[in-house]
């Protein structure tokens, strides 16, 4: 895939020169269930951290393996079978500007790969206490918006659910749904930009919640539910110090689980206190959560998900829910 455009060399994990100085980006294809492989990766971890990019290719679309890869120093994680478009998008995001990420995201697979890479970078930065690359995240969200505008929502939903999972899948779905909803409402470009930026950032607080809770297949107990409900405030606190994140986006990150009747969290806001941006994002967030593809539950049909949302009277703005029908069922 890379030979015609890049100088590529190969090494096994136990080779002494695997992380040699003239190599700018390392692509690791290894079974992370192997103790020997993990030991070898830990041995060269210091050298790997000096590389501009560290792309790990894993064999199973499970967040446990992705988390293991990031713990070993990955900057990006791809899942086999890897296609050329996804690999090139990851390479671009390793080595060039955030604008280049958006330009390189050709088609839904490329936009999804760029979005997942931006999410992975953000989550990793939060876990390590490092600065979040806000510009890269916004550019990736912009690439999603461009793809939705060109190819529509249905193709985006299918692509994301097939190739991504867990929190990253959810954030990519929310971003695409929010953009399409904004387009259908006739929002101005600046408003759609605020909307897709809020969507890509909205669950960043989940970076500090253990995977065992985030990916629990059964019902959460009271303590686990309370922990999950900390993520909007945590995300707000993580992003509050960044001058290039507007107050409107911060408000959406903190309040996307608020309901008009005051039953939401973290601040129990009621109707007059909830902005239009938050109302739109909340609808996209709920719909995405209902239709996402999880290992422990069957994928809900879009028609059923929309019926559930119509039943949330008093919690969501009824005219917006009615306007969302075309996005939910037809687009």
pLDDT tens for each residue of 253-282: 999 999 999 999 999 999 889 999 999 999
Burial class (CB in 10 A: 0-12, 13-18, 19+), 306: buried
Residue 159 confidence (pLDDT) = 84
Report the pLDDT value the prediction gives residue 247, as an integer from 0 to 100.
95
Pull the structure tokens for residue 320.
Answer: 């917006």
Dist. CA 160–CA 110, nearest whole Å: 11
Residue 99 is predicted with a pLDDT of: 40
Convert the pLDDT of each residue in 81-136 to its tens digit: 887 777 776 776 665 443 444 444 457 877 887 788 788 888 888 888 889 989 88
Residue 105's pLDDT is 42
Q: Looking at the domain 1-82, which fold is it?
A: Rossmann fold (3.40.50)
Q: Report how far apart, in Å, the C-alpha atoms of 277 and of each of 236, 252, 254, 290, 325 are.
A: 16, 7, 12, 20, 18
Say what the pLDDT of residue 101 is: 42
Distance CA 159, CA 118 (A): 17
- Give Cβ neighbours of residue 249 (< 8 Å, ≥ 6 apart): 194, 197, 198, 201, 239
| Domain residue limits, the chain | 1-82, 106-329
What pLDDT score does 81 carry? 82
The answer to whether 115 touches 167, Cβ cutoff 8 Å, is no
The CA distances from residue 146 to 143, 175, 249, 304, in Å, are 5, 11, 20, 28
204 alpha-carbon distance from chain centroid: 9
State the number of CA atoms in the 13 A half-sphere of 101 facing the CB.
27
For residue 96, give the 3-state DSSP assignment: coil
* CATH number of this structure's domain 106-329: 1.10.3210.10
Ranges of residues in the chain with a pLDDT under 70 are: 3-5, 16-21, 60-64, 89, 92-106, 163, 295-296
| pLDDT value for 104 | 44
| CA–CA dist 237, 251 (Å, integer) | 11
Q: Which pLDDT score is estimated for 243?
A: 92
What is the structure's pLDDT at 204?
Answer: 95
Crossing angle of the two packed helices 247-255 and 189-201, in degrees rounded to 10? 50
What is the edge-to-edge ordering of all strands in the sheet holding 76-79?
A: 25-29, 53-58, 76-79
Distance CA(117)–CA(2), nearest Å, equals: 19
Cα–Cα distance measured from residue 111 to residue 21, given in angstroms and rounded to the nearest whole number: 31
Non-local (6+) Cβ contacts of 256 within 8 A are 198, 202, 232, 278, 281, 282, 285
* 106-329 has the same fold as 1-82: no
pLDDT in the model for residue 96: 46
**pLDDT of the residue at 92:** 67
User: How high is the pLDDT of residue 310?
Assistant: 96
């Amino acid at each position: 895939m890379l030979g015609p455009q890049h100088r590529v060399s190969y090494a096994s994990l136990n080779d002494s020169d695997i992380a040699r100085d003239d190599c700018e980006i390392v692509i690791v294809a290894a079974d992370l269930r192997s103790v020997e492989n993990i030991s070898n990766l830990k041995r060269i971890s210091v050298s790997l951290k000096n590389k501009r990019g560290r792309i790990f290719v894993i064999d199973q679309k499970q967040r446990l393996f992705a988390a293991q890869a990031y713990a070993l120093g990955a900057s990006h994680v791809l899942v086999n079978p890897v296609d050329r478009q996804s690999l090139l998008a990851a390479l671009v995001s390793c080595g060039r500007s955030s604008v280049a990420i958006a330009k390189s995201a050709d088609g839904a697979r490329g936009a999804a790969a760029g979005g997942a890479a931006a999410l992975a970078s953000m989550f990793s930065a939060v876990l390590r206490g490092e600065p979040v690359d806000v510009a890269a995240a916004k550019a990736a969200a912009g690439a999603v918006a461009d793809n939705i505008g060109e190819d529509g929502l249905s193709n985006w939903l299918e692509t994301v659910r097939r190739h991504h999972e867990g929190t990253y899948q959810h954030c990519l779905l929310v971003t695409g749904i929010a953009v399409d909803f904004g387009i259908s409402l006739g929002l101005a470009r600046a408003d759609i930009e605020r909307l897709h930026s809020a969507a890509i950032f909205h669950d960043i607080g989940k970076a500090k919640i253990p995977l065992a809770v985030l990916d629990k297949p059964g019902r959460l107990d009271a303590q686990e539910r309370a922990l999950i409900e900390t993520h909007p405030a945590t995300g707000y606190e993580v992003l509050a110090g960044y001058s290039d994140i507007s107050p409107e986006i911060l408000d959406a990150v903190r309040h996307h689980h608020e309901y008009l009747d005051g039953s939401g969290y973290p601040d129990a806001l009621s109707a007059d206190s909830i902005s239009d941006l938050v109302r739109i994002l909340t609808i996209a967030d709920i719909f995405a959560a209902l239709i996402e593809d999880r290992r422990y539950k069957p994928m809900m049909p879009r028609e059923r998900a929309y019926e559930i949302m119509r039943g949330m009277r008093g919690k969501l703005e009824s005219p917006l829910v009615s306007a969302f029908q075309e996005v939910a069922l037809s687009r």
